[in-house]
Amino acid sequence: MSLTHEELRKKFKSFWEKRGHKEVPPTQLVPQNDPTTLFTGSGMQQFVPNLLGEPHPLGTKLFNVQHCIRVQDIEEVGDNRHDTFFEMMGNWSLGDYFKKEQLNYFFTFLTDKDGGLGLEPKRLYVTAFEGNDHIPQDKESIEVWQEIFKGVGIEAKIGERIFLYDATKNWWSRAGVPENMPPGEPGGPDSEVFYQFDVPHDPRYGKDCHPNCNCGRFLEIGNSVFMEYKKLPDSTFEELPKKNVDFGGGLERFLAAAQNDPDIFKTDVFNDIVRRIELVTTASYSDPKNQSSIRIIADHIKTAVFIIKNGVFPSNKEHGYVLRRLLRRALLKLRSLKKDFKSEDVSVIARSVLSTYGGIYFDISNDESKVTVVVDEEMKKFEKSISTGMKLIEKMQSVDAKAAFDLYQTYGFPLELTEEILKERGHKIDRKAFYEEFNKHKELSRSSSAGKFKGGLADHSEQVIKYHTATHLLHQALFDVLGNDVKQAGSNITGERLRFDFSNSFTPTDEEIKKVEKIINEKINKALPVNFKIMPKSKADKVGARSFFKEKYGEQVKVYYIGETEKNIKDAYSKEFCGGPHVKNTKEISKLKIDKFKKIGSNLYRIYAI
Ligand code: SER
């Protein structure tokens, strides 16, 4: 029996707890305050302020398991290792230990038979940064790795066991290579560990195999980033005041290595889902011709279920658009395996996602109906557009790229289906011409979300920090004016404006909104100091600090407060659970203007301020 995901979670937790690390709860899948990305895509996203120097309430040694979605990988799903939903297991040192300890810890986790995964050291290959004109070669990591391998009787030569790569492979920042990093962004060289499977090298990928070769023999299972640099406005780098470790490794890939089979769809976070698909379609996963479709269905329905759980509905915009695309793509693949599938078939598969992650992410009795209702409705809509499209196509003499695009645009009729029908008639669609049409009419919604697929680059500029503090003032001022019914529903800050959503039992009048604005500016003009205290969660609740109900908090929390005196948190004007950062004094904000106020749902309101 190979390692189960539940066992892996337990091992990971106790490994880091034994080494003095505190567990940080995962952040939401749909991030707050990060307009650059639709979904949380890495474990480190919530720690960016901490990597730049903000203290973390749980200390300097942390670990967590973060559920992530990377939709930019959607086209790659279908092989044995790509998925759009995954969990990243991470550990962090915030100016505490550095390279030597980190690489030793991770190696121990991978190879230790009791506390770790018990992987064979000879199957592990590692990489390090080769250096460039600005940043030196990561000699320290090379030396540490040589030492570690020596300890298990392996001579680790460069080019054999340790491989050096340039910044495209061995540098990590949220923006990628150093040239792409905006000023203020942290980054650094990284060292990856790869697991070698018993898969022969495929020469189609190049003459020689090496860890970053894509033939499937090597799988990256963990990445230790040494966050030691910050990009400056003149494009050079300065060393961060504290050197940090940011480690992330995929839970699914750890499981694949532990079972010594590279196919993540054979691990137990996919087993039941794949089995369900086999039952529903009667297509067997062991038949190679079905594998790509089954993987796409399994991955997409899983991701869709997690998105729905986060309160998103299918739509033509942003998160909803991604959800729709995933469900419809899964459905088309299902259809290719079983012509007469029913919408209930999809719900059956969705249910297996819930049971796989049962006690971890879902409360089955509550979530099951929520998820299946959304899936069912979307499937019915799609079935309808398919049957309308079918009728139209049947009447058409010929279908060119423009007609295919119109079918897609007007009826949501997918290109894949048009192609399938035309194939039966012995015709073909000019795909290039179709995509030209597509680009001409690029749906606004899609293009506006497209840039966000990469994302996770929340801006930490001064203006953003000012808006962040202003958001706290706005939150409290709403309570002052409207009373205790106000509930924050979300906030979103860019360098240009702040946006704040809240619910309230009645519609505020224009005068009330004016009053809110007046209070905020009074507080700004009073030049109030902004401070934080780290305290147990229970105490924070006691002093009346406001928390955001959608977020999970650790035992120790950080409370930012704005008030007359620095010492007295209890009587402070505003107090909120918050990771920061903030301005030091409200006078730095200068002025805040409520630019727009509108109703966005029943009892739901939105404010834009500049
Ligand atoms: N930030 C690194 C990654 O996403 C490690 O956590 O790979």
pLDDT in tens, 275-331: 999 999 999 999 999 999 999 999 999 999 999 999 999 988 889 989 998 998 898
User: 596: which 2 tokens?
Assistant: 């727009």
Give Dmax over CA atoms of the chain in angstroms. Answer: 80
186 lines ligand 1 (CB under 6 A): no
What count of other Cβ atoms lies within 10 Å of the Cβ of residue 471?
Answer: 25
| Domain 462-609 in the same topology as domain 5-265 | no
Distances (CA, A) of 274 to 34, 79, 293, 352, 421: 34, 14, 11, 9, 28
User: 505: which 2 tokens?
Assistant: 């039992």
Contacts of 59 (CB under 8 A, 6+ apart): 22, 94, 556
224 lines ligand 1 (CB under 6 A): no
Q: What does the alpha-carbon distance between residue 14 and residue 124 come to, in Å, rounded to a whole number?
A: 23
The DSSP result for 568-601, as a single string, is -STT-SEEEE------SBGGGG----EEEEEEEE
Q: Which of 86, 89, 106, 172 to mutate to test the pocket of ligand 1 (most atoms within 8 A of CB)?
A: 172
Residue 224 CA: which ligand 1 atom is closest? Answer: 5
Q: Round the average pLDDT of the chain to a whole number and report it.
A: 91
Q: Could you tell me the pTM of the whole model?
A: 0.85
Q: What does the alpha-carbon distance between residue 253 and residue 67 come to, in Å, rounded to a whole number?
A: 14
Paired sense of beta strands 124-129 and 162-165, if any: parallel
248 lines ligand 1 (CB under 6 A): yes
CA-nearest residue for atom 5, ligand 1, is: 248
In the chain, domain spans:
5-265, 273-386, 396-449, 462-609
CA-nearest residue for atom 1, ligand 1, is: 44
Q: Is the pLDDT of residue 446 over 70?
A: no
**Confidence tier at 388 by pLDDT (50, 70, 90):** confident
Task: Please tell me the distance between residue 189's alpha carbon and the centre of ligand 1 in angstroms.
Answer: 11
pLDDT in tens, 252-291: 999 999 999 999 999 999 999 999 999 999 999 999 999 9
**Confidence tier at 136 by pLDDT (50, 70, 90):** very high
**DSSP 8-state assignment for residue 160:** T
The helix (H) or strand (E) run that includes residue 532 is strand 530-536
Q: What does the alpha-carbon distance between residue 383 and residue 485 come to, in Å, rounded to a whole number?
A: 42
Asked if residue 47 lies in contact with residue 64, where contact means CB atoms within 8 angstroms, the answer is no
Task: Please tell me the distance between residue 63's alpha carbon and the centre of ligand 1 in angstroms.
Answer: 13
CA-nearest residue for atom 7, ligand 1, is: 248
Contacts of 475 (CB under 8 A, 6+ apart): 488, 500, 502, 546, 574, 576
Q: What does the alpha-carbon distance between residue 57 and residue 334 come to, in Å, rounded to a whole number?
A: 47
Section 332-337 average pLDDT: 89
Asked if residue 381 lies in contact with residue 375, where contact means CB atoms within 8 angstroms, the answer is no
CA-nearest residue for atom 6, ligand 1, is: 248
**DSSP 8-state assignment for residue 316:** S
Residue 78 has a pLDDT of 93
pLDDT in tens, 3-22: 999 999 999 999 999 999 99
Question: What are residue 531's phi and psi, to 5 degrees?
Answer: -135, 170
For the domain bounded by 462-609, which CATH number is listed?
3.30.980.10
What count of other Cβ atoms lies within 10 Å of the Cβ of residue 384?
Answer: 12
User: 431: which 2 tokens?
Assistant: 């795909």
For 550-566, give the secondary structure using H, E and C.
Answer: CCCCCCEEEEEEECCCC
> What are the beta bridge partners of residue 190?
225
Q: Which of 73, 225, 457 to mutate to test the pocket of ligand 1 (most atoms within 8 A of CB)?
A: 225
Cis ω for the linkage preceding 581 (within 30 of 0)? yes
The DSSP result for 493-524, as a single string, is E-SS-EEEEEE-SSPPPHHHHHHHHHHHHHHH
- The count of residues in the chain is 610
Section 429-446 average pLDDT: 72
Residue among 343, 329, 320, 338 at smallest CA distance from 295? 329
Residue 1 has a pLDDT of 62
The helix (H) or strand (E) run that includes residue 283 is none
Section 417-426 average pLDDT: 82
Q: What does the alpha-carbon distance between residue 567 and residue 467 come to, in Å, rounded to a whole number?
A: 24
Question: What are residue 2's phi and psi, to 5 degrees?
Answer: -80, 170
Q: Is the pLDDT of residue 453 over 70?
A: no
Residue 235 has a pLDDT of 87
Section 124-135 average pLDDT: 94
Residue 42 CA: which ligand 1 atom is closest? Answer: 4
Strands (E), 99-160: 124-129
What count of other Cβ atoms lies within 10 Å of the Cβ of residue 484?
Answer: 6
**Confidence tier at 62 by pLDDT (50, 70, 90):** very high
Q: What does the alpha-carbon distance between residue 154 and residue 110 come to, in Å, rounded to a whole number?
A: 16
CA-nearest residue for atom 4, ligand 1, is: 42
Of residues 140 and 380, more confidence is placed in 140
CA-nearest residue for atom 3, ligand 1, is: 248
Q: Return the exposure string of 251-261: e unless at least 16 CB atoms fall within 10 Å of the residue's CB, then b.
A: bbbbbbbbbeb
Q: What does the alpha-carbon distance between residue 587 and residue 566 come to, in Å, rounded to a whole number?
A: 15
Q: Is the pLDDT of residue 449 over 60?
A: no
Of residues 522 and 460, more confidence is placed in 522
Asked if residue 42 lies in contact with residue 248, where contact means CB atoms within 8 angstroms, the answer is yes
Tell me which architecture the domain covering 5-265 has in CATH. 2-Layer Sandwich (3.30)
Contacts of 126 (CB under 8 A, 6+ apart): 145, 156, 161, 162, 163, 191, 192, 193, 194, 211
Residue among 587, 588, 532, 534 at smallest CA distance from 561? 532
Q: What does the alpha-carbon distance between residue 284 and residue 277 come to, in Å, rounded to a whole number?
A: 9
